[in-house]
Amino acid sequence: MRRSFTFLLRPTSKQAAALTQCLEDHRQLYNAALEHRRTAYGKAGVTIGYGEQSAELKEIRKADPGGQGRWSAGSQQQTLRRLDKAFAAFFRRVKAGRKAGYPRFKGRGRFDTVQWPAVKNGASWDSQPSDRVTRVYLLGIGHVRVHRHRRVSGTVKTISVKREDARWFVVLSCDEVPAEPLPATGVVAGIDLGVASLATSSDGERFDNQRHLAACADRLAAAQRDLARKQRGSMRRRKAVARVAALHAMVRRRRLDGAHKAALALVRAYDVIVHEDLRITGMTRSASGTIEQPGRNVAQKAGLNRSILDAGWGVFLTILADKAESAGRELIAVEPRNTSRTCSRCGHCAKDNRLTQAGFQCVACGHAAHADVNAAKNILRAGLALREAARAA
Ligand SMILES: [Zn+2]
């Protein structure tokens, strides 16, 4: 199993300066390699690939010992590969006849990640195992302290450093991470993804109340309005920009944190979890939290707050899939159509069953329930039917 681990880095001020320089040099390498490809094609019609560019690294490093030569050839190769991937994606889009978007030059502050293959001389994880604290070694930067808040398992394949505002993170991508199966609970559940709660299960449990995230979104909206009033180039504007960036980062952290907690609680509680397949809806569930009933008064309130709460579902399902795999739990995705307007007791499907956002009442049999729980029950039933069919086939 492949899995990644992210930790906060605690560089010394000297190391932080070196990290900044390292990012900057890799950015310039990226831009130079892009320029090279552009002019070669534009002037001579020659297509240059990763192989040629990588072969030139040796010369570049030799010519600039105090600059590019300081860093690991491995991380520079990864940067050239990243450009190669950008081109590959560009050509794929061209071929498919879609709007292409030629790979772009990365401006300052638009290049925030460097990746190293985890080999001894370029970068190594837990580089001073005898030390009390965990450190990661990065060539040209040193042994940087890591706030390792959980255990790392498997084999570290790549080490990335990421800058987020003023903070630095290390991301380990590990192979052969052993699964940690959980004991069976004998319980199966469907979950409805929502706005008030990230997930509601068919047995009525709610996972991750998103009130805190919504409060965060309100503050972000206020900060953005404030920013819009500031004069360009002013000190106040710079401060307002920093405030918006910090709030964006806070939203990301809270969302991730909530998603991890909810996913963990779910895999602990249930052997089988059925959820809606978001790829089918294209994540276009409208503001009332259902596809079928868009809701009227929500459009205005929508905006930022909505988009922040909605964006969490994709992240959450990815995390849930990882945890389910590790714990040996079964995850089933079902088509979300009609799950919110169908009665989970008698199966009657009608728009009128759902009169408010929270309330469900069946016009045929009178069954009343919380709308999310009713939907989760339908999702569970669909998932179990799918499972039966798969077994019979
Ligand atoms: Zn009914």
pLDDT digits (tens, 9 = 90+) for 263-321: 999 999 999 999 998 775 444 444 334 333 334 434 434 566 666 676 688 889 999 99
Q: pLDDT band for position 244 (50/70/90)?
A: very high
Q: Which two tokens stand for residue 55?
A: 């072969």
Which is catalytic among the residues 25, 192, 208, 292?
192
Task: Quickly state the pLDDT bin for 13 (edges 50, 70, 90).
Answer: very high
372 is catalytic: yes
Residue 219 has pLDDT above 80, yes or no: yes
Q: Residue type for 181, please?
A: P
Q: Which residues contact 277 (CB under 8 A, 6 or more apart)?
A: 333, 334, 335, 336
Give residue 352 CA to ligand 1 midpoint distance, Å.
12
The per-residue DSSP string of 170-228 comes to EEEEEESPPP-PPPP---EEEEEE-SSEEEEETTS-EEEETHHHHHHHHHHHHHHHHHH
Residue-range domain boundaries for the chain: 3-175, 188-209+266-392
Cα-to-centroid distance, 347 and ligand 1 (Å): 6
CB 6 within 8 A of CB 170: yes
Span from the CA of 348 to the centroid of ligand 1 (angstroms): 5
Cα(366) to centroid(ligand 1), Å: 6
Of the residues 276, 292, 310, 322, which is catalytic?
A: 276
- Give distance in angstroms: CA of 332 to centre of ligand 1: 25
Task: Tell me whether residue 192 is one of the annotated catalytic residues.
Answer: yes
Global confidence as pTM: 0.69
